[in-house]
Structure 1
Amino acid sequence: MNREHAPASRQPPSADGALCGPQAGLGLRALLKMDRHNMSWVRYPSRVSLAVEDVIAAQSVISRCMHVYIAVCVPLSLGIGLFSLSVFIRDRTRLGVLDRLLAGLTATSILVTLLSLNAAGRPDYLPTTNLGCGVLSFFSNACYFMAQYLQGAMLLLSFLPGSPCCRLLAKPVASLAAIGGCAVCSSLIVVSLLGTFGELHTTTLCQADPLTAWPEYEIVKFSLGFALALSFQMVLFLLYATQPVWRVAPAQRDTASGHWVVLAIALNMFACRLFFNAVLLHRAQLKLWKDVGSPRDELLMNLAELALSGESCVNVVVILFLHTPCRLRLLGLLEHLTQRCRQRLDNGMSLNRVGG
Structure 2
Amino acid sequence: MAEHPWGKGARAAHSLSPPNWERNAGPTAPLKMDPHNMSWIHYPSHMSPAVEDVIASQSVISRCVHVYVALCVPLSLVTGIFNLTVFIRGHARLGLLDMLLAGLTVTSILVTLLSLSVASRPDYMLTTNLGCGVLSFLSNVCYFMAQYLQGVTLIPSFLPGSAGCLLWARPAASLAAIGGCAVCSSLIVVSLLGTFREPYKTTLCQADPLTAWPEYEIVKFSLGFALALVLQLLFLLLCTTQLAWRATPEQRNASSERRVVLAVALNMFTCRLFYNVALLQRARLKLQRDVGSPRDELVMNLAELALSGESCVNSVVTLLLHVPCKLALLGLVGRLTRRCRRGSDNSISLSRVEG
CA drift at 1:155: 0.9
Residue of structure 2 in register with 1:126 after alignment: 125
Which residue of the partner structure matches residue 5 of structure 1? Answer: none
Q: Give how far 1:247 is off.
A: 5.6
Q: Tell me the alpha carbon deviations over residues 164-207 of structure 1, each in whole angstroms, 9 at most, x when there is no partner.
A: 35423432111111100000000000000000000000000000
Between the aligned partners of 2:230 and 2:245, the Cα distance in structure 1 is 20
Do the aligned residues in 1 keep the contact of 2:99 with 2:171 (CA within 8 Å)? yes
Query: Who is 2:12 aligned against?
Result: none
Alignment of 1:97-108 (within 5 A): 97-108=96-107
SS at match of 1:127: strand
TM-score, length-scaled by structure 2 = 0.90
In the alignment, the residues of structure 1 paired with residue 159 and residue 293 of structure 2 have an alpha-carbon distance, to the nearest angstrom, of 46
- 2 CA distance for matches of 1:255 and 1:172? 19
Aligned to 1:96: 95
> Can you list the C-alpha shifts for 1:275-299, whole angstroms capped at 9, x where unaligned?
0000000000000000000000000
- Residues in 2 aligned to 1:218 and 1:204: alpha-carbon distance in whole angstroms: 19
Question: Within 5 Å, which residues of 2 pair with 1:11-26?
Answer: 19-20=25-26
Query: 2:186 maps to what in 1?
Result: 187
Other-structure match for 2:264: 265
Q: CA 1:153–1:169 in structure 2 vs 1: closer, same or farther (change >3 Å)?
A: farther
Q: Aligned equivalents of 1:49 and 1:216: distance in 2?
A: 25
Paired letter, 2:82: F
**Matches of 1:255 and 1:226 in 2, distance apart?**
28
* Partner deviation per Cα, 1:318-339 (whole Å, 9 max, x = no partner): 0000000000000000000000
Q: Following TM superposition, by how much is the alpha carbon of 1:242 offset from its aligned partner in structure 2, in angstroms?
A: 1.1
Measured after TM superposition, the shift of residue 254 of structure 1 is: 10
- Quote the Cα distance in structure 2 between the aligned partners of 1:191 and 1:294: 26
Would the alpha carbon gap of residues 130 and 19 (structure 1) be closer, same or farther in structure 2, given more than 3 Å must change?
closer
Deviates more, 1:240-249 or 1:40-49: 240-249
Distance 1:157 1:198, change over 3 A: same
Q: Which residue of 1 aligns with 2:9?
A: none
Shift of 1:212: 0.2
How many residues get paired?
Answer: 332
- What is residue 222 of structure 2 aligned with on the other side? 223
Describe the shift of the 1:180–1:289 C-alpha distance in structure 2 as closer, same or farther (beyond 3 A): same
Matched with 1:323 is: 322
Measure, in 1, the Cα distance between the counterparts of 2:38 and 2:130: 16
In the other structure, the counterpart of 1:232 is 231
TM-score, normalising length: structure 1: 0.89
1:129-181 deviation line (CA, Å, top 9, x unaligned):
00000000000000000000000110122111134354234321111111000
Paired residue type of 1:220: V
* Structure 1 alignment gaps of length 5 or more: 1-17
> CA contact under 8 A between 2:124 and 2:204: conserved in structure 1?
yes
Aligned to 1:334: 333
The equivalent of 1:110 in structure 2 is 109
The aligned counterpart of 1:177 is: 176
2:274 counterpart of 1:298: no
Structure (1 or 2) with the larger CA radius of gyration? 1
The residue that corresponds to 1:279 in the other structure is 278
CA–CA distance in 2 between the matches of 1:319 and 1:104?
12
Distance 1:150 1:114 in 2: 19
Query: Does the C-alpha gap of structure 1 residues 89 and 197 become closer, same or farther in structure 2, counting only changes over 3 Å?
Result: same
Residue 305 to residue 248, structure 1, CA distance change in 2 (3 Å): farther
Secondary structure of 1:204's aligned partner: strand
Distance in 2 between residues matched to 1:197 and 1:75, nearest whole Å: 35
Identity %: 71
SS in 1 for 2:161: coil
Q: Secondary structure at the match of 1:257?
A: helix
Q: Any idea what SS the aligned residue of 1:128 has? A: strand
Partner amino acid, structure 2, of 1:182: C
Q: Give the Cα–Cα distance (whole angstroms) in 2 for the partners of residues 108 and 87 of structure 1.
A: 16
Report the counterpart of residue 41 of structure 2 in structure 1.
Answer: 42
Give, in angstroms, the shift of residue 354 of structure 1: 1.1
RMSD (Å) for aligned C-alpha atoms: 2.0
Give the Cα separation in 2 of the matches to 1:291 and 1:309: 27
5+ residue gaps, structure 2, are 1-23
> What residue in structure 1 maps to residue 81 of structure 2?
82
